[in-house]
Amino acid sequence: MADKRTPSADPRRAPNIEDVARLAGVSTATVSRSLNSSGRVREATRKIVETAARELGYTPNFGGQALASNRTNTVGAIIPTMENAIFARAIQALQETLAEHKVTLLVATSQYRPDREEAQIRTLLARGVDGVVLIGNRRAPSAYALLNARGIPFVLLWSAPANSPFVTIGFDNFGAAHDLTTRILEKGHRRIGMISGLTADNDRAFDRVQGVSQALADHGLSLSPHDLVECRYSLKAGENAAMQLLGATQRPTAIICGNDVLAAGALRAARASGLTVPDDMSVIGFDDIELATAVFPPLATVRVPHRRMGVAAGEHLLRWMVQGERPPSLTLPTEFVERASLGVAK
Amino acid sequence: MADKRTPSADPRRAPNIEDVARLAGVSTATVSRSLNSSGRVREATRKIVETAARELGYTPNFGGQALASNRTNTVGAIIPTMENAIFARAIQALQETLAEHKVTLLVATSQYRPDREEAQIRTLLARGVDGVVLIGNRRAPSAYALLNARGIPFVLLWSAPANSPFVTIGFDNFGAAHDLTTRILEKGHRRIGMISGLTADNDRAFDRVQGVSQALADHGLSLSPHDLVECRYSLKAGENAAMQLLGATQRPTAIICGNDVLAAGALRAARASGLTVPDDMSVIGFDDIELATAVFPPLATVRVPHRRMGVAAGEHLLRWMVQGERPPSLTLPTEFVERASLGVAK
DNA sequence: TTGAAAGCGCTAACAT
DNA sequence: ATGTTAGCGCTTTCAA
């Protein structure tokens, strides 16, 4: 067996900072400074070090770096699911933003379950992430306690509560839902049904229901329990929910859906029921993912700033992590997208 | 400033293994053994240690653990994009499998670009991942060299080449495409067009084109350059490609698409052209993602074992990482799913 | 501008 | 079964 004290005894062993220092004829401190552009190093020295590092194929050992610097240059994000394109796209934007600053992203999913989310927060913290991104703002105090105990930077995406004690980067779910409902009412619809995601642990879904309710109330209408169905965010669930609404004695002339996937399900239900959209009934989605224009008729929906949220989350977090100053919250605009699935009421 | 030698001088400082050892009245080695269930520890001792750890809210420091053990319990996966549900789902399955063994997943995307993929491989290796998952088997030797230089376990998903020097977990793209084409021919179609993803750096896309070609050849037909359009995997690109095929003097009676997203685009093109599917033309997809049944008519397609690939990738990798023995390759079956978008030729 | 050296927190070999 | 202790590779004072 090779003598441990003999340098480069094992050729398979990855080169370490000492190997680089030796080859460059400098100290390990100088190598570290050169490669991290921290502290001053003469340009000529840096060149020499870089050459040596390249020659050896040196990559800093992650564990050593993390241990010594107490930073991992890693950010963790927990989203409900990767299967909804809206989150996938936001995550992609986040990752690209972080990558520009040599920070990598650890992604975990909660399946919309608070207990899983909290477990994932624990995992990420154990992984030593330097920052965390979460979706929504409603969760158990214990979850926030975990984050706060470490004093770790974290931002909440997808909602924009008025006086949050946390940094939020999102949009006004209530307002967007209120707005779209108003537009539907302007088309003459009066019997309106809604298919929502499960609101229990989902403030976005909850706020959207509230926005619809309020808009109806503003017009002297109301969203009765019969007109509202909650279900999982899946095509099949949306279809079933729509079937239920369509089975009512007075079926709605317009169905507002918590997202585009549910709306696609509602379209399928309409077709199965022999109803034509929008002539017999209108269907409205939320998110404006690609699916919205893949179905027929294309879905009227609300464009959610997923990409901008992802980018902003990355920028805010980086600022916070590096400069140590807590960034402000940010509210982004949404836009109603009118398409053929919304027609005038007959 | 607090004296560094005074233990727990800074109450904000995270508790370390020494704090736990002190509280439990044992050595740090025993704490490590208790918490990692490595080596023997008396049950009573373990209890005491666990209590102490819980009381202090102790979480092992990731950097320290990684540095000392030379393992990060992290696996990295590089997929083309998170925006295609097929990859998202496979990744989800992979993550769940790994999570059962306390291994976390680092996800990166390549956007179907070989250079980006190689850069991501570098990043993951720098991150000290213990294993890697890649999609497809065709890439530059330099990419494989990176992996091999570290002797790190890695598996390739989505394809099943006959004599790969690597561990692959996938399915027979050629065979699946050959099979679906044969079924289309059985429906009487003779003028067949194909919309494929870009085949240059994508062995799956390439193999599918070959499978279609071969099946046609088997019936004395051929896939001429005019009948084949390559484009990005997007709805819009699929629509444009279909438009091109439909503009031919003799338009195809069936269009085979490289995936379901392209097929959804083709459906849109058919509608825009005033053609009814499947009466005027058939459209066939690949993947069987949710989108396939969200569109109308629902897409005939090939069911790809995305979930099984994700699970198997996790299991094989874990086995390899822990037991050190390289697992065998695995070929999973696909299934043709007949749906309304495929009709008999008129 | 550079070097020497003290840790960072943990694991694992070895000793008991 | 448990303790002692030597590193793992890196960053960061502190000196020079």
Is any Cβ of chain B less than 8 angstroms from the Cβ of A145? no
pLDDT tens, B149-198? 888 999 999 999 999 999 999 999 999 999 999 999 999 999 999 999 99
pLDDT tens, A190-225? 999 999 999 999 999 999 999 999 999 999 999 999
Phi, psi (5° rounding) for residue A283?
Answer: -130, 135
Q: Which residue is nearest to nucleotide D11 (CA to C1')?
A: A68
Q: Which CATH class is domain B70-172+305-333?
A: alpha beta
- Cβ–Cβ gap A89/B81 under 8 Å: no
Question: CATH fold of B7-60, please?
Answer: 434 Repressor (Amino-terminal Domain) (1.10.260)
Is any Cβ of chain A less than 8 angstroms from the Cβ of B273? no
Q: Write the CA distances from B249 to B191, B244, B246, integer angstroms.
A: 12, 11, 8
Give residue limits of the domains in chain A: 7-60, 70-172+305-333, 173-304
In degrees, rounded to 5, the angle at the alpha carbon of residue A16 between the alpha carbons of residues A11 and A22 is 90
Q: Compute the average pLDDT of residues B50-63.
A: 93
- CA-wise closest residue to A299 among A217, A206, A235, A228: A235
A4 pLDDT more than 50: no
Taking residue B31's Cβ as centre, other Cβ atoms within 10 Å add up to 29
Orientation of helix B43-56 relative to helix B28-36, angle to 10°: 100
Q: Do domains B7-60 and B173-304 have the same CATH topology?
A: no
Question: Is there a contact between A192 and A221 (Cβ–Cβ < 8 Å)?
Answer: yes
Q: Compute the average pLDDT of residues B206-224.
A: 96
Supply B301's token pair.
Answer: 């397609």
Cis peptide before A278 (omega within 30 of 0): yes
Phi, psi (5° rounding) for residue A262?
Answer: -60, -40
Measure CB to CB from residue B128 to each of A62, A151, A293 and give the nearest one: A62
Q: Which nucleotide is nearest, taking the CA of residue B21 and each C1'?
A: D3
pLDDT tens, A236-282? 999 999 999 999 888 999 999 999 999 999 999 999 999 999 999 99
Q: Write the CA distances from B180 to A162, B19, B216, B228, B238, integer angstroms.
A: 55, 64, 11, 16, 19
Q: Which CATH class is domain B173-304?
A: alpha beta
Question: Is there a contact between B266 and B237 (Cβ–Cβ < 8 Å)?
Answer: no
CA distance B306 to B87: 7
Q: Which of residues 86-105 of B touch A (CB under 8 A)?
A: 88-89, 91-92, 95, 99, 104-105
Q: Which residues of B touch A59 (CB under 8 A)?
A: 122, 125-126
B5 pLDDT more than 80: no
Measure CB to CB from residue A72 to each of B14, B62, B271 and give the nearest one: B62
The nearest CA of chain A is from the CA of B15 a distance in Å of 11
Supply A344's token pair.
Answer: 């005038």
CA distance A71 to A65: 8
Closest chain B residue by Cα to residue A65? B63
Averaged pLDDT score across all residues of chain A: 93
A36 pLDDT more than 70: yes
- Cβ–Cβ gap A83/B88 under 8 Å: yes
Residue A12: predicted pLDDT: 65
pLDDT tens, A134-150? 999 999 999 999 998 88
Q: Confidence class of residue B7 from pLDDT cuts 50, 70 and 90? A: very low
B11 pLDDT more than 70: no
User: In which element (H, E) is residue A154 found?
Assistant: strand A154-157
A3 pLDDT more than 50: no
